[in-house]
A and B are shown apart, each in its own frame.
Chain A
Amino acid sequence: MHQTKNARQTTQTKPSTYLNEAVAIWLRDLRSEFRTRYALNAILMFAVTTLIAVSFSIGSFRIEEAERPFLYAVLLWIILTFSALSGLARSFVKEEEAGTMDILKLSARPQAVFLGKLLFNLTLLGAMELIIVPSFILLMAYQINFPGFFIAMVVSGGLGLAAGTTIIAAMIARASARGALFSALSIPLLLPLMITAIKGCERAAVGIGTAGWPEVKMAVAYVIVMVIMSLFLFPLVWEE
């Protein structure tokens, strides 16, 4: 018991900030994911399977050249969105399934939990985009005339996907039919972002109408609105 006494002399001297808490949650989630690979496997399996299916069934020669910019943008964002939907809900669902939700509620502030989970989903989505987007471009011989705009669109669209799916994942974590509910709630919320991202990627491929980067600005605005709203709403979702 002497050791217990010593151990309890540990004192709280560091003020805990939202960022410190969020980073701790993010690093813990990354470590857990690195060991279990639940979400990463789900996302990559879906993404690679659909990518291969699309590239074999459609390829680069079955579409008229004039239609390619639009159709390729649609296919790319369908793959990215549905791959994200297949794995990003895990960030909260795994806490509920493992029974760790309550201990996290007792340890961290709600906004820090949201930010930590958002960082984790951004990391997963970033890794997915790094694999899927170059593969899609290669397999489909995707011609992009304005690569800077295209990259900005993929990055801002990815941020929007992560922000949208993180708050919905929190909302559905305690529901019984989580999978169906996650898709049902995500699609209407993500639809404006998808339409914007598709339009942006089409413009990047054609190389016309990109002045002022309107779609990128719209996607960034979507991210800002979604994150701010989520920070306000998340405590209501998180607490019973």
Chain B
Amino acid sequence: MFTLNVSGIGKHYGDALLFKDISFRLNLGDVFAIVGWNGSGKSTLLRIIAGLVRPSAGRIEMFCNGEPIPKESRRQFVGMVAPALSLYDELTGLENMEFFCRVRGVDCNRNNCLEIIDGVGLAEHATKTCGDYSSGMKQRLKLAQALLHKPPLLLLDEPGCNLDSKGIKVVEGIISKQRQLGVTVIASNEKREADYADKAINLSE
């Protein structure tokens, strides 16, 4: 049972306030959307939840079966896809997956990695270097990377970015399955993506 508790989060850069006093609590099965205009801080809020950016105010707490998860262990519980997160262009899709398995300590052999890649529709391209991938293929590989350790918290920043209709179906399937595994937070301007969520917050308001 995973719980994400966001309380009183605010962020400012110098004197410029991005957002303040953002609070919500998400439990297993919740899909939450962060919407707002460009520059309203959707991606920043997602990065704060992931632990990549320090908030100016407030705190992020994660609980597993009621036990608080220490900050230094949270990366094991988080999977993230974002336009700003890049994979290693000089490695193949398969090598990227093998690297992330090893570095995350996921017990995953080459066949498992191939299976994960197949799951996002990239089986034929697994041995091509990522530098030769199209932007849609890179997005699919990012999705595979975010899922390989079965994170209870899935953070998706514009998950449908650059994807074709088959890719969108993959995203829908991932969000639907994540309802059994944990919590999903989506940051997007797309109404279709925001509609996957049960709850939402608008940072422009």
Interface residue ranges, A against B (CB under 8 Å)? 1, 3-8, 10-17, 20-21, 23-25, 28, 31-32, 35-36, 98-100, 102-103, 105-109, 112, 239-240
Task: Please give the distance in Å from A230's CB to the nearest CB on chain B.
Answer: 18
- With CB as the reference atom, state the residue of chain A lying closest to B142: A103
A240 touches B102 (CB 8 A): no
Determine the chain A residues whose CB is within 8 A of the CB of B119 once the complex forms.
Answer: 1, 3-8
B67 at the interface (CB under 8 A from A): no
B16 at the interface (CB under 8 A from A): no
Q: Mark B103-120, 1 if CB is under 8 A from A, else 0.
A: 111111000100110111
- Given the interface pairs A6-B115, A7-B115, the reply to whether A106 lies near B174 with Cβ below 8 Å is no
Segment touching A, from B58-66, B89-97, B197-205: B89-97
Q: How far is the CA of A77 from the CA of B52 in the complex (A)?
A: 39
B28 at the interface (CB under 8 A from A): no
Interface residue ranges, B against A (CB under 8 Å)? 47, 50-54, 72, 75-76, 78, 80, 82, 84-91, 95, 99-100, 102-108, 112, 115-116, 118-120, 129, 144-145, 147-150, 169-170, 173-174, 177, 181
20 A-B pairs with CB atoms under 8 Å apart are A1-B169, A1-B170, A4-B119, A4-B120, A4-B170, A8-B181, A10-B108, A10-B148, A11-B106, A12-B107, A20-B103, A21-B103, A24-B103, A36-B90, A100-B86, A102-B85, A105-B51, A106-B75, A106-B80, A106-B85
8 Å CB contact of B173 from A4, A13, A239? A4
B86 touches A98 (CB 8 A): yes
Q: A17, A105, A106: which has the most chain B beta carbons within 10 Å?
A: A106
Q: How far is the CA of A4 from the CA of B91 in the complex (A)?
A: 22
Task: Please give the distance in Å from A58's CB to the nearest CB on chain B.
Answer: 39
Q: How far is the CA of A8 from the CA of B108 in the complex (A)?
A: 11
8 Å CB contact of A10 from B52, B87, B107, B120? B107
Q: How far is the CA of A4 from the CA of B112 in the complex (A)?
A: 11
SS class, residues of chain A in contact with chain B: helix
Determine the chain B residues whose CB is within 8 A of the CB of A3 once the complex forms.
Answer: 115, 118-119
- With CB as the reference atom, state the residue of chain B lying closest to A2: B119
- Given the interface pairs A98-B88, A98-B89, the reply to whether A10 lies near B103 with Cβ below 8 Å is no
Report the 10 A-B pairs with minimum CB-CB distance, sorted nearest first.
A16-B105, A4-B119, A99-B86, A24-B102, A7-B119, A7-B116, A13-B107, A24-B103, A1-B173, A7-B115
Determine the chain B residues whose CB is within 8 A of the CB of A17 once the complex forms.
Answer: 105
Task: Please give the distance in Å from B85's CB to the nearest CB on chain A.
Answer: 5
8 Å CB contact of B107 from A7, A14, A36? A14
Q: How far is the CA of A112 from the CA of B102 in the complex (A)?
A: 12
8 Å CB contact of B145 from A14, A35, A103, A112? A103
